[in-house]
Structure 1
C-alpha cells in the first residue's frame, strides 16, 4: 500500500505542476486555438488531480477500487474539431511554438512515468489505472504535436519559405 501511495503522491505533484503550467501559459498564448487548447489542458489536469486524490483516499481507507467505473470518461481530444489557426505576428507564432513544445514535453514525461510505473507495479488494478493515465497523456501529447506542427507550418508560411528538413 505504501508503494502505491508513493506512486500516487508523485503523480499528484506532477499533475499539479502540469495544471499550473497550462494555467499560466494560457494567459501568454497569442493564438486563440493555442489559448483554448491550453485552457482545456488546464481543466483536464485539474480532473487528473482530483482523480488521483480520490484514488489516494481509497487506498488509504483500504476501500476497494471499482476500476471500470473510475476509468470511464470522455476525452476532449477525441471530440476536438480542427479549427483554422489564427496567425499573428512572427513573434506571436514563435511564442506559441515555444509554449506548445514545452507542453508536449510535459505530456511526454507524464506518459512515460505512468507507462514505466505500470510495468513495475504488481497490483493489476493499479497497473490498469496507470496504463489508462498513460493513454490519456498520450492523447494530450499527440494533440499537442499536431497543433505544434500546424503552428510551425503557419510560421514558415508567414516567412514565405519552408526549410528543407
Structure 2
C-alpha cells in the first residue's frame, strides 16, 4: 500500500473519530439514564484520544513515510466503559434507558461502521505497524459495538418484562 493510501485512511479515520466525539458530546446531554451519560462522556474523551493517536501517525507518515511502532498495550481501549455485567441491575432506571434506545441504536450503528472500516483497512495494510494500529482500533470499536448491543438488549428485554410482554 502506498503512503498516499495510508494518508487517506488516516485522514478518513480522524474525521470519523472527530464526528464520534461530537456525537457523544452532543447526545451526552440528551440521554436520560445516568449510566448512559457516563458512557457517552467517557466515549467522547476516548474518541478524542483515538483522534490524537491517528494525528500523530499521520504526521509521522507525512514526515518520513513510516508508522511508529506503538506499544498498543499502553493505549486506552475503553474496555471498562461498559460495565453492564458489573453494575447493580436493581439500581438502573430502565424507563430512562428505554427512552435512550434510539440514541443507543445510532451509537451501535456508528461503532459498527467504525469496526468495519478499521477491519478492512487493517486487511489491506502491508506496513506491520499500520496493521497493528488498525487492528487494535478495530478491536476497540468491535468491543464498543458489542457493548452497545448488550445495553440495547438489556433495556429492551427489561422493558418487555416490566410490561408483561414476551414476543418470543
Normalized against structure 1, the TM-score is what?
0.87
2:119 maps to 1:126: no
2:59 maps to 1:53: no
2:39 maps to 1:37: yes
Alignment correspondent of 1:2 = 4
Q: Is the 8 A contact 1:118 1:128 kept in 2?
A: yes
Structure 2 unaligned regions, length at least 5: none
Map Cα deviations across residues 29-58 of structure 1 (whole Å, 9 max, x no partner): 111111111111111111111111111111
Q: How many residues align?
A: 162
Normalized against structure 2, the TM-score is what?
0.86
Structure 1 unaligned regions, length at least 5: none
Map Cα deviations across residues 137-165 of structure 1 (whole Å, 9 max, x no partner): 1111121111111211222233232221x
Q: 1:75 deviation in Å?
A: 3.2
Q: Distance in 1 between matches of 2:69 and 2:17?
A: 20
Moved more, 117-126 or 14-23: 117-126
Q: Distance in 2 between matches of 1:56 and 1:123?
A: 14
Runs of 4+ in structure 1 off by over 3 angstroms are 63-66, 78-81
Q: Distance in 1 between matches of 2:118 and 2:19?
A: 15
Alignment RMSD (CA, Å):
2.0
Q: Is the 8 A contact 1:33 1:83 kept in 2?
A: no
Alignment correspondent of 1:76 = 78
Q: Distance in 2 between matches of 1:53 and 1:22?
A: 20
82, 89, 93: which one aligns with 1:87: 93
2:100 maps to 1:99: no
Q: Distance in 1 between matches of 2:79 and 2:19?
A: 21
